[in-house]
């Protein structure tokens, strides 16, 4: 019996009706992922301008695998992180909502990206080799290059963070080696990363050595206006323009985080922010308060700035010798493996996409 061929427009229409009927539920599910998905689509489109679409899609997926490695490592250490956000021609990033408590934790999370990313690139390489597909092999080579690039020992690359558990002297190696790579590749992106890292090291270890680097941190808080008005004396006239210093105290949690707790007595408002360990807080100031409407409620949005001197916390970098050797061996071994894989693919003389 011959089956009737259905029009593709009929199938598209049915799919559209399904999405419309389930639109609200779908938006709730995708809302959390909308930012990463949109940034992925934009990045694929950007790469498609200079290469085939399939290559741009594959490249973004390899970057995604790399970032998932960071996310999984952070979850294993109990640290909340954001979903990856993609930036065309630069890569992707995740933001940590809590600071690592020591150099080993920082290095572990940093190592997760190149390790999982290398596994992803290796899977593409195996598929390309098995299928004798030169395009997959080229994509695998780019994946290996991305992970090797991230192992350069300068911040904010993964290698700079892994170095915290091996030796901070690797940062000097990164400065010298990074300069050589910049000259060879003529990469403006790497030059910007290298220059920012060099400036940060100069400030921490030379200019502000012993005194601490002056730093600011901003926090935004929302308070219900009706609750404020009900708790204030009837004679008090509240002004949206009130600014000024706030009373504060600092303390450390058992888990190692340094917390600044501040208080605005007028509104009986109390908030707190985390600052890097070993910081010397010098001032906490209310810099803005504006009335806004949110979910049919009138809220007072408070902006608070914390000024502190960020000192180098030597305890943060105290790592047992055995752990240093273990991370050092893993770091060097991964770098050598990536170099070997890139060299093997390079020897095949494959066509570029």
Residues 253 and 293 in one domain: yes
Residues 227 and 118 in one domain: no
Mean pLDDT, range 262-270, rounded to an integer: 81
CB 62 within 8 A of CB 121: yes
Residue 36 corresponds to which tokens in the numbers above? 């990463």
Does residue 251 form part of some domain?
A: yes
Give me the count of residues in the chain: 353
Does residue 3 form part of some domain?
A: no
Residue 113 corresponds to which tokens in the numbers above? 């990206």
Residues 142 and 250 in one domain: no
Residue 112 corresponds to which tokens in the numbers above? 């997760």
Q: How many CB atoms lie within 10 A of CB 56?
A: 20
Mean pLDDT for the chain? 83
Does residue 238 form part of some domain?
A: yes
Does residue 256 form part of some domain?
A: yes
Q: Which residue has the tokens 């299928």?
A: 131
Give residues with Cβ within 8 angstroms of 158, minimum separation 6.
110, 111, 113, 114, 150, 151
Residues 82 and 106 in one domain: yes
Residues 329 and 304 in one domain: no
Give pLDDT, residue 290. 80
Residues 35 and 134 in one domain: yes
Q: Cα-Cα-Cα-Cα dihedral of 152, 156, 162, 165, to 10°? A: 130
CA distance 247 to 264: 7
Quick one: pLDDT band at residue 173, thresholds 50, 70, 90?
very high
Q: Which of 112-116, 224-228, 248-252 has the least mean pLDDT?
A: 224-228
Residue 243 CA, distance from chain mean position: 33
Does residue 67 form part of some domain?
A: yes
Does residue 158 form part of some domain?
A: no
pLDDT tens for 135-158 read: 999 999 999 999 999 999 998 899
Residues 339 and 266 in one domain: no
Quick one: pLDDT band at residue 79, thresholds 50, 70, 90?
confident
CA distance 40 to 272: 34
Residues 44 and 144 in one domain: yes
With residue 38 as reference, give the H or E element that holds it: helix 34-48
Does residue 172 form part of some domain?
A: no
Residues 284 and 334 in one domain: no
Nearest to 260 by CA among 268, 269, 251: 251
Residues 238 and 329 in one domain: no
* % of the chain residues with pLDDT over 70: 84
Residues 46 and 125 in one domain: yes
Domain hosting 268: range is: 214-310
Mean pLDDT, range 79-90, rounded to an integer: 83
What is the DSSP code (8-state) at residue 271? E
Does residue 284 form part of some domain?
A: yes
CA distance 24 to 305: 38
pLDDT tens for 8-38 read: 444 445 544 444 454 445 444 445 666 777 8
Residues 333 and 266 in one domain: no
Q: How many domains does the chain have?
A: 2
């Amino acid at each position: 019996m011959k089956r009737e061929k259905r029009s593709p427009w009929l199938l598209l229409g049915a799919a559209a009706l399904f999405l419309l009927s389930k639109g609200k539920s779908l938006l709730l599910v995708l809302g959390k992922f909308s930012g990463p998905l949109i940034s992925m689509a934009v990045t694929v489109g950007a790469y498609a301008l200079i290469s085939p679409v399939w290559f741009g899609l594959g490249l973004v997926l390899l970057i995604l695998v790399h970032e998932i490695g960071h996310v999984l490592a952070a979850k294993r250490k109990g640290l909340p992180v954001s979903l990856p956000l993609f930036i065309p021609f630069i890569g992707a990033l995740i933001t940590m909502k809590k600071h690592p408590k020591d150099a080993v934790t920082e290095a572990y999370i940093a190592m997760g990206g190149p390790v999982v990313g290398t596994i992803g690139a290796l899977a593409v390489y195996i598929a390309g080799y098995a299928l004798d597909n030169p395009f997959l092999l080229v994509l695998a080579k780019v994946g290996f290059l991305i992970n090797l690039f991230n192992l350069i020992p300068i911040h904010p690359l993964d290698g700079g963070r892994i170095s915290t558990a091996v030796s901070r002297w690797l940062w000097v190696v990164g400065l010298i080696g990074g300069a050589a790579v910049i000259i060879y590749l003529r990469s403006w992106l790497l030059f910007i990363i290298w220059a920012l890292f060099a400036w940060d090291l100069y400030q921490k270890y030379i200019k502000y050595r012993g005194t601490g680097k002056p730093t600011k941190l901003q926090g935004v808080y929302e308070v219900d206006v009706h609750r404020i008005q009900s708790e204030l004396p009837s004679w008090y006239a509240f002004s949206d323009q009130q600014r000024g210093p706030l009373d504060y105290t600092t303390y450390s949690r058992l888990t190692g985080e340094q917390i600044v707790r501040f208080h605005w007595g007028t509104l009986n408002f109390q908030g707190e922010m985390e600052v890097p360990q070993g910081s010397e807080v010098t001032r906490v100031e209310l810099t803005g308060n504006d009335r806004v409407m949110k979910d049919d409620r009138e809220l007072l949005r408070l902006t608070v700035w914390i000024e502190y001197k960020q000192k180098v916390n030597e305890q943060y970098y105290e790592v047992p010798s055995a752990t240093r050797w273990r991370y050092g061996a893993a770091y060097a071994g991964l770098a050598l493996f990536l170099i070997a894989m890139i060299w093997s693919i390079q020897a095949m003389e494959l066509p570029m996409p």
